[in-house]
Amino acid sequence: MKIYFFIVTILLVIIGDQLTKASILSHFQYGESIVMIQDFFNLTYVRNLGAAFGFLAGSDASFRIPFFVVVPIIALVVLVYLYVDLPPAAKWRATALGMVSGGALGNLIDRARLGYVVDFLDFHYKNAYSFPAFNVADSAICVGVGILLLSTLQLKEKPNASHSA
């Protein structure tokens, strides 16, 4: 049963991520922004050459490009290993690993196809604070990691639990 949750989640994340990015690419010019909620949320087409929140975006391309191809592949190998090690009833953790895997693959597709990641979810508070733009893949990775952390904490609180979280 866990394979269903893992594979379907990966596919849903990749499809949702790539469809939203395709919509941004077809309807926005680079840097264009549309206010959705005044002083709080815009759709803004941003090209992210780095990792999360632009980490390493300014580094030399001869380092950055191989780094952002190799690291996600290693991460995916680790995620598959973690999935294989899950007990059969661990649906939530299989789903969480699927979210992280799907997010990593969604951003890897962008890097392979475009040379950068398309970001567009732009949250801010007036002109005082701005969170770095992100996308559906980034959201899936964060939520998946959150579920994994919560399920790990739940297992630690119940040492005799049946690892089915």
114-143 tens-digit pLDDT: 989 999 999 999 888 999 999 999 999 999
Q: What is the pLDDT of residue 62?
A: 72
Distance CA 104, CA 81 (A): 15
- Give, for 41, the enclosing helix (H) or strand (E): strand 41-48
Distance CA 20, CA 26 (A): 10
Q: What is the pLDDT of residue 152?
A: 83
Cα-based distances in Å from 32 to 26, 115, 146: 12, 19, 31
Catalytic residue among 17, 110, 122, 138: 138
Encoding tokens for residue 133? Answer: 């733009």
Under 8 Å CB-to-CB from 23, ≥6 apart: which residues?
Answer: none
3-state secondary structure of 63: helix
Distance CA 165, CA 55 (A): 32
Q: What is the pLDDT of residue 56?
A: 63
Q: Residue 41 corresponds to which amino acid?
A: F
Q: What is the pLDDT of residue 147?
A: 95
Active site residue 119: yes
Q: Residue 137 corresponds to which amino acid?
A: A
Q: Which residue has the tokens 């997010």?
A: 103
Catalytic residue among 17, 110, 119, 122: 119
Q: What is the pLDDT of residue 13?
A: 98
Q: Which residue stretches of the chain have pLDDT < 70?
A: 51-59, 61, 64, 157-165
Sign of CA dihedral 64, 66, 70, 72: positive
Active site residue 122: no
Distance CA 149, CA 143 (A): 10
